[in-house]
Each structure stands twice: as structure tokens, then as C-alpha cells.
Chains A and B, each alone.
Chain A
Amino acid sequence: GNSVTQMEGPVTLSEEAFLTINCTYTATGYPSLFWYVQYPGEGLQLLLKATKADDKGSNKGFEATYRKETTSFHLEKGSVQVSDSAVYFCALSRGGGADGLTFGKGTHLIIQP
């Protein structure tokens, strides 16, 4: 079945640093790929998505490019802020005719002022 592997956390960075959170996947067919974010005390929410190879999803300064050749969907941001501190989840569509998503374990990001 489909699965997602993302880098272990916590990831601690200083404000204005460059961010990369790695995500690789295993899937049959052509899944859509997602990053969801969970801010402290809030529910998970969609950050960005890409539905086919070479697509780039972007939102709030974050970007991720669907790389089929490396089965990756790494999350990047050029200059992080304290308000970006959250848990980030990489996910993919379940595929095989099934709806919904399969999630990675999550990466806790801590931004220090």
C-alpha cells in the first residue's frame, strides 16, 4: 500500500532561517501529494498540494515540488517566522480506488526568535 516517510523532529531553527522538511513516498499509480500543518491548539489544516509530477504547490511562503523520479515532496520556506512553529505532516492520496489520505508521522518545527 501507499506510505509516507518524513524526517524526524523536532527541527529547531532561528527566525529568518531557510527551512527544508524532507518527505518521500511509496505509492502505486499517480497519487496526489499534500502538506498539512497543525498549529498549537488547533486542528490539522491543508497547507499545500500537488496533483501531478513536476507540479509545485505553494502557500504562505511555503513550497513543495512533486518529484516523481525521486518520489519526494520536500517542504521549503526561504525565511521562517516564529509563527511557523507547528507540526507538519506529509500525506498522499490513498489510491487503489480508495478516497482520503495516508499521513506521515509528522515533523515538529520550532522557530526561535
Chain B
Amino acid sequence: EAGVAQSPRYKIIEKRQSVAFWCNPISGHATLYWYQQILGQGPKLLIQFQNNGVVDDSQLPKDRFSAERLKGVDSTLKIQPAKLEDSAVYLCASSLGPGRNNEKLFFGSGTQLSVL
């Protein structure tokens, strides 16, 4: 079974530039998450999709971050403009969903973003 795919693996940009990350979840998984993991901290949920609808985006900085999941499969997360404090690993995860099926998450390897 193929896992959660993310790209790129690494990205280095200067502050005020824009960047986009891509995620392909496990086939058949209805729920998709984007997490931000700052060095030394645990993953923090940015946004959760159920199919192509947003379930929770309460911790997404909407003035600069946006995400979409067209057709309920792949997803992209964008930052525009980036700030120094956005340097982190951006993790995509998927789960069967909903309810208790959303407790076992499958994670991608993440995109490590460095903002200079």
C-alpha cells in the first residue's frame, strides 16, 4: 500500500516570498490534515479536510496561509508571503475518517521549509 506522498522534500526561500506544498493521501482516505512542526515541538494542526470540505481551520493563519483539496484527493498548502517564523516541517497526514477512524493517522515524510 502506497503511503502519503509529499513534495518537495526541502524548500529554502527568502522572507516575503511564496511557497506551495503538495500532498497525495493514501487512496480511499477521506480525511486529510496539514500539520506544522516547529523544531523541538509536536505537530500542530493547521487544517483538516473531510473529502473536499474544510472541517477545522481554526489554527490556520489565514492572512498568509491557504489550503485546498480539490476533488477530495490531492491537497496543496500555500504560504504567501512567508515569514521567518514559518520555518518548520509541514506534515501531511490522512485517515479513513470520520469519527474514531480519524484517530489513526498516516503521515508523509514532510516538507522541511527554511525561510531566510
Contacts and interface: CB of A to CB of B under 8 A. Distances in A.
To the question of whether A and B form a pair in one complex, the answer is yes
B97 A89 contact: no
B31 A43 contact: no
Interface in A59-75: none
Interface residues of A, number: 25
A49 interface: yes
A44 interface: yes
Contacts, number: 67
A43 B108 contact: yes
Interface in A76-113: 89, 91, 93-94, 98-106
Which of A4, A51, A100: most chain B Cβ within 10 A? A100
Contacts of B106: 43, 45
A43 B109 contact: yes
A18 to B, nearest CB: 25
Contacts of B108: 43
Nearest to A108: B40
A89 B91 CA distance: 14
B55 A44 contact: no
Interface string B36-54: 0000111111001010000
A41 B107 CA distance: 12
A45 B107 contact: yes
Interface of A: 4, 32, 34, 36, 41-46, 49, 51, 89, 91, 93-94, 98-106
